Amino acid sequence: MNRDVIITCAITGAADTLSKHPGLPVTPRQVADACIESARAGAAIVHVHVRDPETGKGSRDPALFRQTVEMIRESGVDVIINLTAGMGGDFVPGDDNPAIGGPGTDLIGPLERLAHVEDLLPEICSLDCGSMNFGGGNTVYVNTAACLQTMARRCLELGVKPELEVFELGQIRLARYMIDQGLVESPPIFQVCLGFAWGAGADTRSMLAMVDALPSDAHWFSFGPGSLQMAMATQAVLLGGNLRVGLEDNLYLSKGVLASNGQLVEKAAHIVDQLGGRVLSPAEARVKLGLKPRG
């Protein structure tokens, strides 16, 4: 069991969840306020997506990231910022010609996917370690090995620690290859993402199999979606890891009761306390993870 637990809060994500939760953070001000709320509730790290204020859909606009991050930093609340670098990898084969992207395609180059990271220099950015099918539709999330190596190399040059998001065992193999190539500094940070189609399941055996495949010096977090969020958070702590909660992955505090990010963090912190552990502050988390503080 891990008795010194780091909590990450994933604030809003990019999925079409606004119709299900009218309080989902959308504008830069709302996302920043949710980050501050989460930090005050006990989250050492906030995982940040931004959304188009007009449509509510996920966005990769660097200006929206800048507004959001500046508000967090100007608040005076200490929290580790983890910016997503996952946007820009969606490919939907066209109906007439599957070689050409159809509606919903948003596919850009690896360095463009890091434009906001290069601009803002957070302490962490996410790096999704492989391509995969998401859901039952026709969307493929594209992360080729060459693309990931380019992104990892640029993160290394910028001094930004990548959070290696892994959804199945093959992605861990690719992440370990990049570590062996010197593209990711030790100790690495892994986010074990469970319960998404079509990756590893959100269950104890899947989590254990994934964790057993990680490098011995890895710091790791894990989470599951929806009603499994708190169960997987608890399981992560029991297996020696850290946890992630937040509205990106789960909208509810309990059955039928919509949550805020702060409430989900408070609930996770209570679980850690009941298990006999303690929640680390951002300063303690920086030391444990070997991060380089930013302004």
**Is residue 63 pLDDT above 90, yes or no?**
yes
pLDDT band (50, 70, 90) for residue 293: low
Tell me, what's the pLDDT at 110? 96
**Is residue 294 pLDDT above 80, yes or no?**
no
Label residues 136-149 b or e (16+ Cβ within 10 Å = b).
eeebbbbbeeebbb
Rounded Cα distance, 162 and 192, in Å: 14
Instruction: For residue range 171-196, list pLDDT tens digits in order.
Output: 999 999 999 999 999 999 999 999 99
Tell me, what's the pLDDT at 59? 96
Instruction: For residue range 104-153, list pLDDT tens digits in order.
Output: 899 999 999 999 999 999 999 999 999 999 877 889 999 999 999 999 99
Looking at every residue in the chain, the average pLDDT score rounds to 96
The three-state secondary structure class of 269 is helix
**Is residue 295 pLDDT above 70, yes or no?**
no
Which positions ≥6 away from 97 have C-beta within 8 Å?
none
Please give the average per-residue pLDDT across 88-99, as a whole number: 91
- CA-wise closest residue to 68 among 11, 2, 128, 148: 11
In the chain, where does DSSP find H-type helix?
A: 28-41, 62-74, 115-120, 145-158, 169-180, 204-212, 229-238, 261-274, 282-289
Region 4-289: CATH code: 3.20.20.70
Instruction: For residue range 244-288, list pLDDT tens digits in order.
Output: 999 999 999 999 999 999 999 999 999 999 999 999 999 999 999
Tell me, what's the pLDDT at 44? 98
User: Which position has the higher pLDDT, 237 or 134?
Assistant: 237
Backbone angles phi, psi at 242, to 5 degrees: -110, 175
Looking at the whole model, is its pTM more than 0.85?
A: yes
Which residues does residue 127 pair with via DSSP β-bridges, in sequence order? Answer: 164
